Amino acid sequence: MVIGVVIVLILIVIGLIIYNLRIHKKIQTFKNINQRITNLSVVQDFMNTVGETSSVDNKIKRMNEILIERYEIKYSTIVVFDGADYIVKASNVDERHWDSLRSLQDIEMFKDSITTATPKYVTVNDEKERLPYQQMEFGRAKSAIFFPLYIDNIYIGYWIIESGTPHDFDNVDITVLEVIKDNIVSILKTVEHQRTLESIVRTDEFTELYSEEYLYGEGKRKIDQYGTSTVCMFKITNLEMINKKYSRELGNKVVIEVSNFIKEAISSDYVFVRYMGPKFVIVFSGAEISGVADFINDKKEALEQLKVVYNDEKTKKEQQAIPRLNFVLSTYYKGTGLEEVLKKLEEYLDNADIQESDITNI
């Protein structure tokens, strides 16, 4: 009788163990699925950030904010090497600690991590201790994981997460953090093209206008505050003739006076750049093409009565020229390719008859 009861109890215990194992397995499966959903959601948030009309630095900061919010990370810092210096691109750590955070590549314990492209976990055992890389921070971080960042096998910086609790990352799933790190690298790689455009924007020495590249960075952010805008490209069609017949100095003065006239006539909300040579671009942000056409017509008439004078010091002769302009307008829709609109306008002006001096909508 007793043996039978014991056998029954043993079977019940075995059954409960099997049941608990199954429940544990289901919980782990659920956690894995939930983690994957979270990762996918974060990746989607990252991609949305890339698509936003903001600077590269703001996109990286937003990406770091997403990591902190979605993964409940206490401190997260992204440091990028720009070719000369290590720059803190994003961090929720007080700026007075950034000097130590941008110098981690010089810390012995992290050098091996950089060399081997593997993460490095550091922690303290006692609340009174501090992490080796901390110079003036006694209470902020007690554990950290350092991730070197690589793009196409080229070291570009690092990502470090920190906690104010010792051993806080002992049981963290490193594979999940590796996925996050890979996403950070992907975003940094994606925005590299935008960074390049932003870095090569220059100012024209004669007109003090931004160059064409401005349209694809800061300019586009201003433009994309509106759903539709009117893009106007115009060309000083007789500039080449003025340069040849009179002098390049007179031609430069024509360019300066035409650009100054336009600058004074348009709102600072609009984007005005020297596109290339005799061509200029005005983007009337949020404006309808019909209203812009009337405005351009008035300005064109005034400009084509503008007498530009240059006194040649060598010949002691006065040179005069009146600019002749050809305008073409088109509508730009937010989310579409601005460069395609500009290409279409440029092709029209380049193929137009040299004598054409109109305002054309395409």
Query: What are 198-254's pLDDT values in tens digits?
Result: 666 688 888 889 888 888 877 888 898 898 999 999 999 999 999 999 899 999 999
Mean pLDDT of the chain: 81
Helix (H) or strand (E) holding 330, with range, is strand 325-333
* Phi/psi-derived region of residue 324, left when phi > 0, alpha when psi is between -120 and 50, beta in every other case: beta
What does the block give as tokens for 344?
């279409």
Contact between 176 and 35 (Cβ < 8 Å): yes
Question: Cα angle at 305 between 300 and 310, to 5 degrees?
Answer: 120
pLDDT at 20: 56
Rounded Cα distance, 35 and 43, in Å: 12
DSSP state of 82: -
Rounded Cα distance, 283 and 331, in Å: 10
Percent of all residues in the chain with a pLDDT value above 70, rounded to a whole number: 80
Give me the amino acid identity at 284. F
What does the block give as tokens for 19?
């049941």
Q: What are phi and psi of 219, to 5 degrees?
A: -60, -45
Q: Which residues are CB-contacts of 316 (< 8 A; sequence separation ≥ 6)?
A: none
Contact between 216 and 170 (Cβ < 8 Å): no
Q: Read off the pLDDT of each residue in 250-278 and give the average, rounded to a whole number.
A: 93
SS (H, E, C) 308-321: EEEEECCCCEEEEE
* Phi/psi-derived region of residue 167, left when phi > 0, alpha when psi is between -120 and 50, beta in every other case: left
**Does the pLDDT of residue 114 top 80, yes or no?**
yes
pTM more than 0.95: no
Query: What are 2-36's pLDDT values in tens digits?
Result: 565 556 556 665 655 665 555 545 444 434 434 44
What does the block give as tokens for 88?
């803190």
What does the block give as tokens for 270?
């609009």
Rounded Cα distance, 319 and 89, in Å: 53
Q: What are phi and psi of 92, to 5 degrees?
A: -105, 15
Rounded Cα distance, 271 and 285, in Å: 8
Contact between 362 and 344 (Cβ < 8 Å): yes
pLDDT at 206: 85
Contact between 238 and 175 (Cβ < 8 Å): no
